[in-house]
Amino acid sequence: MKIVKKKYDEAYKILFDYPGMVRQLLENFISMDWVKWVDYQKLEKVNASFVRKNYKKKESDVIYKLNFEGQTAYLYLLLEFQSTVDPSMPFRIQSYVNDFYESMIKKEKKDRYPIVFPVVIYNGDKPWTVPDNLKDKIEIPKDSNLLPYIPSLKYFKVIINEFKKESLLKIRNILSTVFLIEKLKPEELEKEFGKIAKIISDEIDLDLKEAFQNWFQMFIDGVSLPVSETLMNASEEEVYTMFANTLKKMEKKWEKIGEKKGEKKGEKKGEKKGEKRGEKRGEIKGKIETAVNMLKLKADIDFIHQVTGLSLEEIKKLSAALK
C-alpha cells in the first residue's frame, strides 16, 4: 500500500507542477469570488520541502504563491491518498500551516503575513467524514468565556468520490478528466473512453496535455507509452486508440485478479485440482472480459489476439455476440 500511495503522490505532484492545472482546480472546483481575481500569469510554485515538526514523511503537498487585487495569498494543496480517512486531518492542517508561517517568519519579519488557503484533495473510496474546521474537533467548554480560546482553522475539501460522473464530464477539462478516471471503476471507465478522448484532443494547451500524459503513465503503473502515442498533437481517434492500448498494459493486473478469485474458489473446496481449475477459469474470464472491452472500443481483432492470447475464432464469436 505504501508503494501505491507513493506512486499516487508523485503522480499528482507532477500534475500540479503545471500552473495551468492549478488554474483549472481553482476556477472549476473552488467557487469563491477571489478565484476570479487571481493573476494566473504570475502563479509561482513554492519549495515545500521545509522540515516539519510533526507528521514527517506522511504528507504530500504542493504550494503556490498567488497574486490578486494587490494582495498575496498561498495555496496549500495537501494530496491525501491513503486507504483510510485520517480523523486527525484538522490538526495536521494546522501543523502544516504553522510550519509554513514559521518558514516565512525566518525569511522576513512583518506585522502581518499573507493568508494561507489549505485545500485537501482526497481520492479514496471511503466517505470523507472528517470535520473541515479544527474547532469542530475541540470540546465545547461549559464556560462561554473560554469559547474565544478555541482554535479555528478551516480547510477546503476536494473529495473526488463525491463528484458525479455527469458533472465531471460537463466541466470538460484535463483536471476533471483526471478526477473522472480516478473515480470510475475499470468497466465504467471504458464506456467513457470516447468522451475522454474528445476532451483530451480538444485541449489546445500542450503543457496541460503533457501534464495529463505524465500523470496517466504513472496511473497505468508507470509504463511509458510509445513515442508514436504521445498526446501532444494526437487526434481524437489516436487518443481513443491510446486508451484502448492501455488495456494491454493493464491485462496482467486483471488476470491476477481473476487468478485470485479462482484460488479462493479452489481453497473453499479444499482441493488442489479445484484450486487450479478456479485459477484457470479466472484467467480465461479475465481474458474474455478484456477482449469484450476492446471489441467495444473497436480495436483490431489481430491486436486483441496479441493482447489476450485468445484465438481469432473465439474473438470473432465474441464480436458476433455483441452485434
Mean pLDDT of the chain: 79
Q: So what's the pLDDT on residue 297?
A: 62
List the beta bridge partners of residue 78.
61, 120
Over residues 17-32, mean pLDDT? 94
Other beta carbons within 10 Å of 280: 14
294-316: pLDDT as tens digits:
776 666 677 677 767 888 888 88
Average pLDDT (33-53) is 83
| 192-247 residue pLDDT tens | 888 888 898 888 888 898 888 888 877 766 444 554 456 667 777 777 777 766 65
Question: 213 CB contacts (<8 Å, ≥6 apart)?
Answer: 225, 230, 231
Q: CA 120 to CA 192: how far, in whole Å?
A: 27
Number of Cβ within a 10 Å radius of residue 135: 14
Angle ∠(295,297,299) on CA atoms, nearest 5: 60
**Could you tell me the pLDDT band of residue 22, with boundaries at 50, 70 and 90?**
very high
- Amino acid symbol at 230: T
- Residues in a beta bridge with 38: 68
The number of angstroms, rounded, from the C-alpha of 214 to the middle of its chain's C-alpha atoms is: 12
C-beta of residue 214 within 8 angstroms of C-beta of residue 15: yes
pLDDT at 289 over 50: yes
Q: Count how many Cα atoms sit within 13 Å of the Cα of residue 108 in the half-sphere of its side chain.
A: 7
**Parallel, antiparallel or unpaired: strands 44-46 and 61-68:** antiparallel
Q: Which residues of 85-111 are buried (b: 16+ CB within 10 A; e: fewer)?
A: ebeebbbbbbbbbeebeeeeeeeeeee
Lowest average pLDDT, out of 99-108, 154-163, 182-191, goes to 182-191
Q: Helical H runs in 270-311?
A: 272-296, 301-308
Letter for the amino acid at 195?
Answer: K
120 vs 234: which has the higher pLDDT: 120
Give the whole-number percent of the chain exceeding pLDDT 90: 38
Lowest mean pLDDT among 100-114, 139-153, 300-314: 300-314
Distance CA 143, CA 147 (A): 8
Q: Quick one: average pLDDT of 101-129? A: 92
In order of 27, 44, 114, 263, the CA distances from 39 in angstroms are 12, 11, 16, 57
Instruction: State the pLDDT at residue 141.
Output: 94
Count of CA atoms in the C-beta half-sphere (13 A) of 292: 13
| Range with the poorest average pLDDT among 69-73, 173-177, 288-292, 305-309 | 305-309
Residue 268 is predicted with a pLDDT of: 52
pLDDT at position 175: 95
> What is the 3-class SS of 96-153, one letter each residue?
HHHHHHHHHHHHCCCCCCCEEEEEEEECCCCCCCCCCEHHHHCCCCCCHHHHHHCCCC
